Amino acid sequence: MIIAQITDSHMSPPGTLLYGGYDARDALRRTLAALEALRPRPDIVLFTGDLADGGLPEEYAEVRSLLDGFALPVAAIPGNHDRREAFAAAFAGSAVRIGAGRFLHLVLEDWPIRLIGLDTLTAPGRSDGALCDERLAWVAERLAEAPDRDTVIFMHHAPFPTGIDEMDRIGCANGARLAGIVAAHGRVLRVMCGHVHRPVAVAFGGAVATICPGIAWQVPLRLEPGAPIEMSPQPPAYQLHVRVPGAGLLTHTDYLPAPGAVR
């Protein structure tokens, strides 16, 4: 099984550019084209949040216009730049699989690896994430339903510190409790995250947790305490999580070439 992960496209309203000329539509279009061109193709694409930059209906309309003709199955959970109501309305009736209810969690049973999506949003306008008692109970119950199934959890905010102070300040509360739930299940292969805009990996509850770099800009690697977050241009990126017999689930990170570059 091959799981593709994309994250943090930060789609802007039609005809606008962000942060030093970032063209969100072109970046997402190129990323989706790269995924469609892969051989073998991924079984599913998980979109781990911040699809839109401002959570506006016109931004989601831009994302949906690109995904409506996309050849691969897609599931998505919201990030802190998304707005639940607009997110849910935008993808209602589309081929993009999303959750429903107070939190936009979802469980996908169609593949050899069970996929659980977690909504980590807090209040609108806040950048930090959280796993409250209700959400932790929900994921524990879902894992308990299938104790013998290999499982992947995908979410926006990373439930572990990265060492980048300003990103950790807007990380996910109660991550240690999630690690305990993951450890108790014992069959979670990966916890996949976005939000940090750079690749990171760590041991987590007996599993591996990874952060996928964004389609949009990169957060520079600044480990000194109190260093400010600055946006750096980068090619769009995605990750492939590939199940290999005898090796488990391997994670590969790939950056798209600059437009016009020979690969």
Q: Dump pLDDT digits (tens) for 77-90.
A: 999 999 999 999 99
Asked if pLDDT for residue 194 goes beyond 80, the answer is: yes
- Confidence label for 231 from pLDDT (cuts 50, 70 and 90): confident
Quick check: 261 pLDDT over 80?
no
220: CB partners within 8 A, 6+ apart: 198, 230, 232
Is 172 exposed, middle or buried, given 0-12, 13-18 or 19+ CB atoms closer than 10 A?
Answer: buried
Report pTM. 0.97
Given a cut of 70, whether residue 260 has pLDDT beyond it is: no
pLDDT at 202: 98
Distance CA 126, CA 101 (A): 20
The first and second tokens of residue 164, run together, are: 């980048």
230 versus 123: the higher-pLDDT residue is 123
Helix (H) or strand (E) holding 46: strand 44-48
Question: How far apart (Å, rounded) are the C-alpha atoms in residues 180 and 36?
Answer: 37
Cα–Cα distance for residue pair 25/62, rounded to 1 Å: 7
Per residue in 154-175, pLDDT (tens digit) is 999 999 999 999 999 999 999 9
* Residues composing the chain: 263
What SS3 state is found at 216? coil
The pLDDT of residue 246 is above 80: yes
Cβ contact 93:134 at 8 Å: no
